[in-house]
Amino acid sequence: MVTSEEGELFFKSPSNEPVVCGIYMIAEPDKRIQVTFNYLDVPCDNGGLVAWIDGWELSGQVWPADSWDDERVVESCDRRPQHKLVSRQNAALVQYRVPAKGKGFAVTIRHLKNSKPCNIMLFGAEGVYTLRNHGETGNCSVIAISPSVVRVLDLNVGQTVKKSGILYLETGTLHRCTKRGLADYVDIGGASGLDHTRMEVFDSMCGLDSNEARRSILIACEDTVVRLVSSGKFQNSVTLAFAPLSVENIEDADLICGFNEV
Ligand SMILES: *[C@@H]1O[C@H](CO)[C@@H](O)[C@H](O)[C@H]1NC(C)=O
């Protein structure tokens, strides 16, 4: 199940089958997810398990893959995690396998403010989003779990040096930035799963451009991905408008995932 709600959820196993299920939680882009286990009665025998995952996992792929570490997974059975679990981004997951009829657990889900969102997941979302590195080194991304139409409304990547009052000149949108030796850029494309590090890139850009892009990019992939790569030397931001890609527009798509695979 997928939920964007706050509140309490109970799970009671209907059978002794070792089925793996998940509560996929999602919140607004500027929120984090907090889960508290109020109650947990899952016997460890027969592989009974409840796991908190700071991110999403689906078909063996995780998100956000490029900032994954062991701390993102907390597994338990028998004893409930005592502390509150808080995600680093607006999506998290509780995965469970309770092969004991009548056994289960209860969680309370809360959405907390995230003042520096880096990785953002959009679930059927339409709207305008700004991706920022907050002056830091590393990669931030937006992943929309749907084929989408993306338009760049504002670009400021690899230009604004941190903590300086200088006014910068518009360079316009530059393409193939890595070939020009620039370390900061935005990739726009798609992926056939949650792992955005395996994304197919349609366009890569950097520069300072406050004019809305002349045209939208149509991404016909399971997931639409925009990835901001930052050296840490600049305050980068990119503002994007997302809309669903309609079935009629698929044939006009700029990128169809899996099409160039051998
Ligand atoms: C960020 O992305 C770049 C380019 O894909 C990659 O070389 C680098 O390892 C990534 N950084 C992290 C922290 O994952």
Domains assigned to the chain: 2-113 (2.60.120.290), 119-261 (2.60.120.290)
66 lines ligand 1 (CB under 6 A): yes
Grade residue 83 by pLDDT with cuts at 50, 70 and 90.
Answer: confident
Residue owning tokens 């990739």? 187
Alpha-helix runs per DSSP H in 11-168: none
Question: Residue 177 gets which letter from DSSP?
Answer: T
- Asked whether the predicted pLDDT for residue 262 surpasses 50, the reply is no
Amino acid at site 198: R
Q: Give the residue whose CA is nearest to atom 14 of ligand 1.
A: 66
What's the mean pLDDT in 144-152? 96
Q: Which of 238, 198, 244, 242 is nearest to 220 (CA)?
A: 244
With beta carbons less than 8 A apart as the criterion, state whether 151 and 216 touch: yes
The confidence score (pLDDT) of residue 228 equals 97
232 C-alpha to ligand 1 centroid (Å): 12
The span from the CA of 139 to the CA of 229, in Å, is 5
Residue pLDDT, tens place only, 171-211 = 999 999 999 999 999 999 999 999 999 999 999 999 999 99
Q: How confident is the model at residue 91 (pLDDT cuts 50, 70, 90)?
A: very high
Side-chain-side CA neighbours of residue 171 (13 Å): 15
Mean pLDDT of 62-78: 91
Q: Residue 92's closest CA among 77, 115, 110?
A: 110
The percentage of the chain sitting over the pLDDT mark of 90, rounded to a whole number, equals 83
Q: How large is the average pLDDT for residues 96-109?
A: 96
139 Cβ below 6 A of ligand 1 = yes
